[in-house]
Chains A and B, each alone.
Chain A
């Protein structure tokens, strides 16, 4: 009886639409926020430190992340502004439930990531998006993290991507800027946790 009452009103349709939208957003993975303080790190997590950079850098206004006719409820556009989307997974393939971080390009990042996520399986930089399509720089990935049970924080390296005129990646370089990362880590979080150098490796 109650259901009939609600179903005749606008509440049920709105609820159903929202449920579908939320379902759509949650399928595929969870978005992990940047780490602000050590208190936010959960027991089963490890702080992952590194850097993603793109060369040539994104030009001013190269990204068009506020398309007409799109209601960007989840802030997809702002989450991609001068940022990359890097996907972690517990297995070396990009399927199932995944976790995503969005490090700012060219800056050392700090994210608290579940320690069972030992693989970087996907990466992209969103250039434009609309209701029908999107333009992306696809970042080649397929890396394995080296996380020990005793680790609280690991430096995975600086990933430097070179692109051509058509936004295809032509070169991937892994650079070791551990000292700079450690210095920034200590500045941000103090000396409570040790940042171990554990450069990522390509999955064979």
Chain B
């Protein structure tokens, strides 16, 4: 009975359509919109070099946690481009990177999550007292061998001097100016330009 009705092409097509719909749905789930007229939002950015990490292909997401003031939302998803992560709409408060990771790829169905926070302050911690541009730093992934097959290996994010804040900020400015969705955030762009002037 089963073999009579089983059509592999039709089944594959259905599977493809269902998975594509699910994937697109995932992409459509956008974060809270940021009002371009809101002057009280800050730009926060940093860089993760994941060349030596087990997850080939860099990272896709960075989660920034808000510690103070405590809110229901609690976490902000930063955008990522070639290791540069950024968020252009953080309110005043205390923030640090909580975790980051890589989604599945066509060559790998493994999701990678790297926990960075959870045990107090880490190096990305920033207290935003007034709207501005805040650099969380550049970091390079370093694996730590646990030395035992019974314990999982660990990792450290080592603070790195490169890429420098100025280089990353220039890149971010370019991204914002060339993307019509981001180019409307004129306050943020203005602040980035001001910060770049100071870095010269």
Q: Are B118 and A168 in contact (CB under 8 A)?
A: no
B119, CB-defined interface residue at 8 Å: yes
Instruction: Specify the chain B residue showing the minimal Cβ separation from A127.
Output: B118
B67, CB-defined interface residue at 8 Å: yes
A95 to chain B, nearest CB (A): 12
Q: Which residues of chain B (106-149) have a CB below 8 Å from chain A?
A: 113, 115, 117-122, 125, 127
Find chain B residues with CB under 8 A from A136 CB: 118-119
Q: Which residues of chain B (80-103) have a CB below 8 Å from chain A?
A: 94, 96, 99
A-B contact count (CB 8 A): 35
Distance A134 CA – B67 CA, assembled complex (angstroms): 15
Q: A132-B113, A135-B117, A166-B96 are in contact. Are A59 and B67 (CB under 8 A)?
A: no
Q: Are B120 and A134 in contact (CB under 8 A)?
A: no
Q: Are B68 and A59 in contact (CB under 8 A)?
A: no
- Contact-residue size bin, chain B (C-beta under 8 Å from the other chain): 10 to 19
A126 to chain B, nearest CB (A): 11
Instruction: Specify the chain B residue showing the minimal Cβ separation from A170.
Output: B121
Contact string against B for A residues 147-182, beta-carbon threshold 8 Å, 1 for contact and 0 otherwise = 000000000000000001111110000000000000
B73, CB-defined interface residue at 8 Å: no
Find chain A residues with CB under 8 A from B105 CB: none
B70, CB-defined interface residue at 8 Å: yes
Find chain A residues with CB under 8 A from B122 CB: 166
Q: Are A166 and B125 in contact (CB under 8 A)?
A: yes
Q: Which residues of chain A (169-197) have a CB below 8 Å from chain B?
A: 169
Instruction: Specify the chain B residue showing the minimal Cβ separation from A169.
Output: B120
Q: Are A166 and B67 in contact (CB under 8 A)?
A: yes
Max chain B C-beta neighbours (<10 A), residue from A133, A138, A166: A166
Q: Are A167 and B120 in contact (CB under 8 A)?
A: yes
Q: Are A168 and B120 in contact (CB under 8 A)?
A: yes
Q: Are B120 and A137 in contact (CB under 8 A)?
A: yes
Q: A165-B127, A166-B94 are in contact. Are A138 and B70 (CB under 8 A)?
A: no
Distance A22 CA – B114 CA, assembled complex (angstroms): 29
Q: Are A134 and B121 in contact (CB under 8 A)?
A: no
Q: Are B120 and A166 in contact (CB under 8 A)?
A: yes
Distance A135 CA – B117 CA, assembled complex (angstroms): 8
Q: Are A166 and B121 in contact (CB under 8 A)?
A: yes
Q: Which residues of chain B (26-75) have a CB below 8 Å from chain A?
A: 67-68, 70
Q: Which A residues form the contact surface with B (CB < 8 A)?
A: 59, 62, 132-138, 164-169
Contact sample, A vs B, 10 pairs, CB 8 Å cutoff: A133-B115, A135-B118, A136-B119, A137-B120, A138-B119, A164-B121, A165-B68, A166-B96, A166-B120, A169-B120
